[in-house]
Chains A and B, each alone.
Chain A
Amino acid sequence: MGKADADETELVQLLVAGDRPAFERIYRKHNAALIRVATGIVASRATAEEVAQDTWIAVLKNVASFEGRSSLAGWIFSILINKARSRAAREGRFVSFDGEGEDDNLAAAFDGRGRWKDMPDLWEEVTPERILAGRSVMDHVAAAIETLPAAQRSVIILRAQQGLEAEEVCEILGISEGNMRVLLHRARLAIRTALDGLM
């Protein structure tokens, strides 16, 4: 089955057979991320939940024809992106993933000769569990991701959190690898700035 590993092959067979526990497992693994990616593309959270729901129906309807040319997660997210984009088009929204027109938020940090205006702080002991301003660092990271533009948000969720291969992310979003790296860097800059404000 190409890139799919043995566990994935078994999971696919269970899904084809309509096995509810297998479906619950994969739903639990990806549903929140599906909604978070879709929320960046369609107008509202409610619509994003509908798009995720439609995606799962399409996944189960078509899983018998899944050939393992991508990972199962990659295939599921490509279905989601297509559904979210056509939904956005019906809403009269155009969503581009090339990140054009988005700037990084760091330009103002340097003087005319490209030197730091203010010395960056030394971050000590920034662990996921540490509490800053009443919330865990993990919660702050999640909140910062929610505010990213669609392209940066999709790249960071697919690549960093769902662990898809770089080439899969590029194919799903229709962007070049160079473009993906720029988006990933900008997403990290934005999250870093959000955290830095709390330190």
Chain B
Amino acid sequence: MLSCKEVATRASALIDGELSTWEALQIRLHLAMCKGCDRFVGQIRTTRDLTETIAAPEPLDEADNGRISAILSQLDEGKQQGG
């Protein structure tokens, strides 16, 4: 039987669906009997979901608009020099 440490190491692989059927089954057996690991895998799943929740992009502020203008003007200069 896998130790809790071994289960914890494989937590991401389990929730990302990267384990073989046999490996996943061994872990699920452990989780059925071990509350600590079951909770830990739940924590990693929540963490994954939170990191994949993308904050809405910030609206452009004045500084951004200035930077965008600077970027675009550099390109115009390059084109004039080139052509």
- Footprint of B on A, CB under 8 Å? 18, 20, 23-24, 27-29, 31-32, 53, 56-57, 60-61, 106, 109-110, 113-116, 119-123, 126, 128, 137-138, 141-142, 145, 156, 160-161, 181, 184-185, 187-189, 191-192, 195-196
Complex Cα distance A145/B36, Å?
Answer: 25
B46 x A126 contact (CB < 8 A): yes
Is there a chain A Cβ closer than 8 Å to B29's Cβ?
A: no
Per CB-CB distance, the 6 closest pairs between chain A and chain B, nearest first, are A114-B3, A114-B5, A185-B12, A116-B36, A120-B39, A192-B47
Report if B60 contacts A (CB, 8 A): yes
In B39-60, the 8 Å CB interface with A consists of 39-40, 42-44, 46-48, 50-55, 57-60
Instruction: Report the count of interface residues on B (CB-CB < 8 A).
Output: 41
Q: How far is the CA of A191 from the CA of B48 in the complex (A)?
A: 9
Could you tell me the distance in whole angstroms from the C-beta of B75 to the nearest C-beta in chain A? Answer: 5
Q: Which residue of A lies closest to B13 (CB)?
A: A181
Shortest Cβ gap from B2 to chain A (Å): 8
- The interface residues of chain B lying within 8 Å CB-to-CB of A161 are 51-52, 54
Given the contacts A18-B72, A114-B5, A53 and B60 also touching, CB distance less than 8 Å: no
Interchain CB contact under 8 A, A115 and B4 = yes
A contact residues around B46 at 8 Å (CB): 123, 126
Contact B53 A188 (CB under 8 A): no
